[in-house]
Chain A
Amino acid sequence: MDYSIQKPIWPGSSSFTTGSTPFGFFDSDTAFQSHADKFAVAAARHLGYPIMDIELQAINFYTAFESATIEYSNQINQVNIVNNLMNTLGVNTASSFLTGTGFTGRLIGNSFGYITKLSKVYGTEADSGGNLQWQTLRVDMVPGQQTYSLKTAISKSLGITVTTSSVEVKRVLHNAPPAITRFFDPFVGTGMGSQNMLEGFGFGGMSPSVSFMMMPIHADLLRIQGIEFNDQIRKSAYSFEIHGDDIKFWPVPSSGTGSSIANPYFESVYVNFIFDDAKNNEGLLFGNSALLNNVVSDASNIPYTYQSYSKINDMGRAWIIKYGLASAKEMLGQVRGKYSSVPIPNGEVTLNGSDLISQGQAEKTELITQLREFLDKLTKEAMITRQNVESTQMMEILGKVPLKIYVG
């Protein structure tokens, strides 16, 4: 076998063709095509060519170049995701404006969508809106029976069978008749001693429709409060207790007509509630099942693709070249380090594989650290903070500008 044929060493030049890289993410980019061959030359020379043979071939250099571009895009997109995920949660990824490169290279504005959705959840709890529909059940009173089953009432009211699903009672509409229904209109001048007062002023004997007395509103409130206190202290209160599925009402339902205050009558009680399952779904879907599929939900599906190499600026390309060189160095180290010693005529020689690997890895780590530190300064949070510092400093500087003294 002629071992001199197709020696695995860099021949000195290359010619990039589409399909030369493992993934081909950038193969159709003319700038990438052009730079791939130049990178191969640069990397080989950095590694010692032509003084030394470089046991790599063009595809190895292309691979290093592609992986460096991927890494750069990855780092950029990580910051993009940190900046924009909250503003794009729920965006339909099948939207026509997202076809192709998605958010890559596009400016994403701010949105209160997420915060609004969040506030709706609070609204559900606070009974001030929200996504969740409140259900209503009706408990039909049976004279003398205080305790009723909620599930039975739900089944009867909604026509469904409730088995394991639990409910959360939001409101029990079981209150004493409002005091206002037992409050006489003070304007008519009757009741509560008003007539005596009118008599004292010489206004007695007038027709109610023509005798009016101005009363402050707090007088009405005091009277209403007096009625309510009276009901609360001297009478059986309208109340309830819930234990598991049972709801117990006070006072004991009677069969009267409600005319007797001492023996009140109420035919039915309404209860507002929500199903726990619905509440859980609200947490998952913000109450909107349309948000379940084909939408931006997390960092894994926010539509950021690899950056277009031709649109990466020179600073970015410089990083890519450096990272690619480090990758090529590590790659060469892997080649030279496969065998700890290489036989030569009448002896052995140890190659610099381990040195190249450690150098390449250290350079890559350093480059990524450097890039991350740089990109971390470019998050929206960091930029707003810096802008705040800048404006504060500017105010301080402007405060030191001498004011003009007006001379009239």
Chain B
Amino acid sequence: MALFGGVRDAKFLASINSELINSIIDTEIEFFKLILESTKSNIYGESEAKTYYDSILLPCIITKEAKTAQMDDYGHTYTRTAQFGLSRDLLETANFYPEPGDIIFWDNEYYELDNVESNQYFVGKNPDTWPNGSTSGYSVSVICDAHATRQTPIGITNLRRGGDNKSPAYRG
């Protein structure tokens, strides 16, 4: 058994992460999960009308890049990328896993997920895959790379209007 990075340390990190994300940073995104089964696609695998589950609120750490202006034949527009760092503990608690194609609404912009990655490990060990057992290491986060979409994706209902924006939020 490794001397460092045991379960006690992992729980300590989890509590620090939970406090930091929920109580100190406290930025929540509205997450729309794509319903793949209800989304019809054409022969090219494209879909004109996507279907999403009702949104949930998730606290996360956001790295938002600057806008990049674009001028082409269709007129003026911009692009922006962002990274959404989600606590893996929190996602486990919510029984939720983000996937490419899901939509995030934050700061009056919609982002479509391009890539989802989970390889930030405490002491370099993933307790789910470490051959010596799950008593060492800690998988810290799920990082979602996303880009701002050009328009509000079809089929999204904005739950934030007129309701309790904290429900159904998941807090660690």
Contact = CB atoms under 8 A, between A and B. Distances in A.
B166 to A, nearest CB: 19
A231 interface: no
Contacts of B88: 345
Interface stretch (A3-11, A69-77, A169-177): A3-11
Contact of A344 (B83, B92, B140): B140
B12 A344 contact: no
Nearest to B10: A3
B21 A7 contact: no
B15 A9 contact: yes
B172 interface: yes
A346 B83 contact: yes
Given A1-B134, A8-B12, A52-B19, A347 B172 contact: no
Contacts, number: 79
Q: Give the interface residue-count category, chain B.
A: 35 or more
Nearest to B25: A344
Given A335-B12, A346-B83, A4 B61 contact: no
A363 interface: no
Nearest to B16: A342
Contacts of A343: 13, 120, 122, 140-141
A53 B11 contact: no
Interface string A268-283: 0000000000000000
Contacts of A314: none
A2 interface: yes
B8 A8 contact: yes
A345 B21 contact: yes
A387 B36 CA distance: 92
B16 A6 contact: no
Contact of A53 (B15, B86, B87, B134): B15
A335 to B, nearest CB: 7
Contacts of B63: 346
Interface of A: 1-4, 6-9, 52-53, 55, 335, 338-339, 342-347, 349, 351
